[in-house]
Chain A
Amino acid sequence: MEAERGLVRKRNANTHPKRCVRPAQQVSERIGYMYQVKAKVLSNEKLSEAHYRIKLEASQIAKAARAGQFVHIRCGPGYDPLLRRPFSIHKSRQGRIDVLYQVVGKGTGLLSQKRRGDQLDSLGPLGKGFEIEPAFKKIFIVGGGIGVAPLYMVAQEITRVGQGQDVTVLLGAKNKELILGKDEFERLGLEVTIATEDGSTGYRGLVSNLFQEFILSQTSLSVAVYSCGPVSMLRKIAELSRHRGFFCQVSLEQKMGCGLGACLGCVIRGRSGYLRVCKEGPVFDAKEILWDNLGL
């Protein structure tokens, strides 16, 4: 693995410094580095009809990655597709990162053909991740479809720094076969509740409706919600959370260019104006987002 260059980047990673989990010194060790590396493919496994997991050797990225950040990967050497493709970092450990992806087009199609030993030009870790706050008493992790990808590291971080909070993981998918990552959350000792649209397992319906039912009985005011999935789902989660006064963070997507904040191509509408998904995001405070007119 070859690092092209990596210097300190003072990323504005904490918009709420008082919520910062680790002592400042430790934080600056882990956040704020960006690398361009040729990451070696360790494996590329088909998980379902549509989903794959690729494991990459990328030690600097793995070391610097925080929950919710992403890697920007060049899926092929040619000009079609021309641009890199952004993917959430699903796991990072011991010099490796995992990406969970769904094949939807040319770039992800090319990615699915990568074999062990191939190299992938990867840029990361990029963007602003989730703010994990151990002071909340109750935590919901809500993933829809491939949106589960960035949430595993949230769960990992909570179980690492947390003080025995009550954590509920809700995962949704079209059907039983398309549920991703359930075992991984369970291995962290967390209880997972599933929603499927066809009812083939668990709750029948959307995971956002499942969330709605869960919070009915929720009396605590100290609640944090971390979510990723289709926009329609995130919007519902955000509205429900706002209504109940929960702290809610969502990971959003937009077509990306540079991934580093330079081209201004990846914006969505926020209350304070256009926000770059690659820089101010991809994780946003749900209250910052203008859901009516996102521009996706």
Chain B
Amino acid sequence: MDNLADLSVSLGRIHLKNPVLVASGTFGYGEEYQDLVEAAQLGGIITKAVTLEPREGNPPPRLAETPAGLLNSIGLENPGIEVFLKEKLPKLRKLKTRIIVNIAGEKKTEYLDLAERLGRETGIDALEVNISCPNVQKGGLVFGTRADLAFSLVKGLRQATDLPLIVKLTPNVTDVTEIAQAAKEGGAEALSLINTILGMAIDVNTRRPKIGAITGGLSGPAIRPVAVRMVHQTFQKVDLPLIGMGGIACAEDALEFVLAGATAVAVGTANLVDPTVSLKIIEGLRQYLKKGGIHSFQSLIGTLRV
């Protein structure tokens, strides 16, 4: 039993048995993958976004592929907090892994309401505050692109709940570290980066956009270098644990983020390609530690040589 290398990490108050999470929107509410992935093996599950009211989402088609990438415009389709509490959370609670609930809204009061209600529930380990969705008309993203709004939102949330707050940042800004710093000052305990990059694809035969909402969020291997760069920049400037994501499809990809400064990683689009990829990544990280004679994963974080 010599390969029991310690993969556990801490994101502020959130302790993970291993650093591999599944990213919001790509793993549903945990139940969809249960035939194939034993949740207890994962570091944690970040749920699909939950909003106060049900949202029907954007008109289809909602997906288009680009080289090594995926454009989506799901538009935060979800059944709303009522149904989430009644139908999804009881099932999530049974899973032996960390449960991080992704919340989104158009107005500050919606976020605060959500946080208060979720804060009263058991079985939730943290909230991931989505201020970065490019697929909604109003709100949401605007909190992620203005430092003053990000600060006041996070500060409000900090008062609304005791749950650890992870703020999820958008890459669609000039300087991500400004928003990151504002989120920290507001009371964030960790940061997730990155959400999808605003993009577009056109069918030249029909001259129509390939997705119904015209623009969408780009994810997948194509965006990984952008994401790694943003993790690196944020790690340099902001003293908070980071969850790195964007195009992770194998252990090596995950390690790039860790060396750049991420404490944990989240796997998104790759789940759609291979539902068991996160388990393979965990095994790959274990092998990497073993090969390098490294005893603790934590000791790797931010050890980029420059």
Contacts and interface: CB of A to CB of B under 8 A. Distances in A.
Interface string A39-75: 0000000000000000000000000000000000010
Given A4-B36, A255-B63, A296-B60, A123 B275 contact: yes
A82 B269 contact: yes
Contact of A7 (B35, B67, B269): B35
A158 interface: no
Interface in B19-52: 25-28, 32-38, 48
A79 B221 contact: yes
A36 interface: yes
B65 A267 contact: no
Residues of A contacting B: mostly: loop
Interface stretch (A92-100, A135-143, A257-265): A257-265
Given A34-B36, A266-B63, A261 B28 contact: yes
Contacts of A33: 35
A5 to B, nearest CB: 5
A273 B272 contact: no
Nearest to A277: B60
Contacts of B271: 258, 262
Interface residues of B, number: 40
Interface in A83-114: 83-84
A295 B49 CA distance: 23
A268 B56 CA distance: 12
Given A80-B67, A255-B61, A265 B32 contact: no
A260 B60 contact: no
B35 A267 contact: no
Interface string A236-270: 00000000000000000011111111111111110
A274 interface: yes
Nearest to A258: B272
B121 interface: no
Interface of A: 4-9, 33-36, 74, 79-84, 121, 123, 254-269, 273-274, 294-296
8 contacts: A5-B37, A83-B273, A255-B64, A257-B272, A264-B57, A266-B60, A266-B63, A295-B60
